[in-house]
Amino acid sequence: MAACSVEQLLAKAEQEEAEKLKSVSVHKELDLDFDVGNLLACDKNRVESRDFRQQKKEDFLRSLARDNTQLLINELWKLPTEKVEEAIVAKLPDATTPLPREKPPPKPRPPTKWEQFAKLKGIQKKKKTNLVWDENAKEWKRRWGYKRANDDTKEWLIEVPETSDPNEDQFSKRVKAKKERVAKNELNRLRNIARAQKVKVPGVGLTPKAQQSKDELSRAVSVAKTSTASMGRFQDRLPKEKAPKNTGKKRKFEPLIGDFSNEKQRQLELLKVLDSKKPKLDVTKAVNKQMREDDREEAAAKHKKGAGKKGRKGNMQGKGRGKGGKGGKGGKGRPGGGKPGGGRPGGGGGGKKKGKPGKH
Amino acid sequence: MRPLTEEETKTMFEKLSKYIGENIKLLVDRPDGTYCFRLHNDRVYYMSEKILKLATNISRDKLMSVGTCFGKFTKTKKFRLHITALDFLAPYAKFKVWVKPGAEQSFLYGNHVLKSGLGRITENTMQYQGVVVYSMADVPLGFGVAAKTTQECRRVDPMSIVVFHQADVGEFIRNEDALT
């Protein structure tokens, strides 16, 4: 009984052990497709829906995943391996499945001004050798950069050209020319960037140009003058220098509490000027006056007629005449307007006029 | 707050002279003290020197009003008179219009003065002349612009406009929040 039980126990233990460690070899109806470069395996076998339903879904999926992973790892073990620092490493082959990019491919850099020109003219780049023979040093040296061949900055003597000033320093001239070339190149580089990004090409101060106009020069001068830490506040002016044109005007007001009498004086003067600009003879006013006078005269004539008929209101007649006389005094244009004799023809003329201003 | 520039002064005086003519001189040159015009928030204020000095204690954004507001400059730099200036325009007005008691209320509600409401008018008033409007009891009510000359006023029908309304004292109630 006891021996039997021991054997049984051993067998049971073995079985459990075997179940724990599943087999390395997995049988599949169709072989899997492997892309080991991407660590990818594709299982084309059909999933039996009956199995899927019968077993627990989670367990089924887990066992399927386990089997397929086992196959992939088997595939990895077929690759050549090596040992790096106590770890076994396999070298993966190139991936065969093309994967899409996350981001769109970068756009090509827009061509620079020179590249555009070169394309237009059909100029092609010529590859130059990196090393050239240095005649003086009798060895091969690099074409450019440090320790270059035929270095013209290392010359100890420069011949003065016949056309140039003999007192001119040819060495510093070369250094200066080089610096200018570098600066120009840098500016062109920045301009290319600006053009590529469609920003306005910066042009503050003096941009290199073939011919600078007087205007541009003066603007450059004013820009240069204000380009100090104190905004050009302490910059001296040249003896005959003119103030910069086209600069912003700053509003300037009188102080709030300043010279009151001066302020008053200025305002009074302004009033005087305003007064003097008014026309001395106001045409509408004069015409109105004339019209009023005519009205009066007409009224006076009516009264006169009425007085003649009825023989009444002698006093009123006198009054009317007196008023007319007053108006005559005011009306400078018509001397003797108040007189009854002189008033007649003038009155007739006035009657004609009367219609016209009425329309206006 | 700042003094008016030459141009602003000119614009304002031209507008004022429509109502009080050369009497502006009396506002500028006063025997009873120094008075001045100051601009604040696009508005022109008329004040004595003493008030001005007191007002400088108040910061610009906190200062609502000082002295008497004469009017304001529009964004297009024109000058508009406000009703608050009436106290200074009325005594010096050259051309006046008196309205009948029945038409007083209509004018104070912001309507134009019709011929029917016209009580008296200064002789020689020209068309488009600035006038000060009075009640028959000689109380200044506002100001406006003569729509017709004095002569024409006699002939037009009773319902035609004689004085265009510009400002009236009713604005003190109607327009209380905007007046300073």
The string of pLDDT tens digits covering residues B62-79 is 999 999 999 999 999 999
Give the model's pLDDT for residue B68.
Answer: 92
The answer to which of A13-17, B117-121, B133-137, B169-173 has the lowest mean pLDDT is A13-17
Give the model's pLDDT for residue A324.
Answer: 41
Residues from chain A contacting residue B36 (CB–CB below 8 Å): 260, 263-264
Q: Is B126's Cβ below 8 Å from some Cβ in A?
A: yes
The predicted complex's ipTM stands at 0.83
Q: Kindly report the nearest CA distance between residue A308 and chain B, in angstroms.
A: 28
- Dist. CA A330–CA A328, nearest whole Å: 5
* Cβ–Cβ gap A288/B2 under 8 Å: no
Q: Is A264's Cβ below 8 Å from some Cβ in B?
A: yes
Res B147 pLDDT > 50: yes
* Cβ–Cβ gap B151/A292 under 8 Å: yes
- Dist. CA B69–CA B67, nearest whole Å: 7
pTM over 0.80: no
Give the model's pLDDT for residue A306.
Answer: 67
- Dist. CA B138–CA A110, nearest whole Å: 83
Give the model's pLDDT for residue A357.
Answer: 43
Give the model's pLDDT for residue A207.
Answer: 64
Judged by phi (left if over 0) then psi (alpha if -120 to 50, else beta), residue A166 lies in alpha
Q: Is B58's Cβ below 8 Å from some Cβ in A?
A: no
Give the model's pLDDT for residue A322.
Answer: 41
Give the model's pLDDT for residue A318.
Answer: 42
Give the residue from A41, A117, A106, A27 showing the smallest Cα distance to A72. Answer: A41
Residue B151 pLDDT grade (very low, low, confident, very high; cuts 50, 70, 90): confident
* Mean model confidence pLDDT for chain B: 90
Give the model's pLDDT for residue A321.
Answer: 44
Give the residue from A353, A343, A346, A348 showing the smallest Cα distance to A323. Answer: A343
* Backbone dihedral angles phi then psi of residue A171, each to the nearest 5 degrees: -65, -50
* Cβ–Cβ gap B124/A285 under 8 Å: yes
Res B19 pLDDT > 70: yes
Domain boundaries B95-175, corresponding CATH code: 2.30.130.10
Give the model's pLDDT for residue A122.
Answer: 95
Q: Which two tokens stand for residue B103?
A: 């038409």
Give the model's pLDDT for residue A152.
Answer: 85
Q: A113-121 and A170-196 helices cross at what angle (nearest 10)?
A: 90
Q: Which residue has the higher pLDDT, B92 or A306?
A: B92
**Count of A-B CB contacts under 8 Å:** 66
Matching residue, tokens 């290392």 = A154
Of A253, A291, A295, the CB nearest to B5: A253
Residues 6+ apart with CB under 8 A from B145: B128, B129, B130, B131, B163, B164, B166
* Mean model confidence pLDDT for chain A: 79
Domain boundaries B2-84, corresponding CATH code: 3.10.450.220
- The rounded average pLDDT for each run of 10 residues, N- to C-terminus, in chain A (360 residues) is 74 79 80 90 85 81 89 90 89 89 91 94 94 91 91 89 91 94 93 87 63 80 86 85 73 85 88 80 76 86 69 45 41 41 40 41
Q: What residue segments make up the domains of chain B, in order of their start?
A: 2-84, 95-175
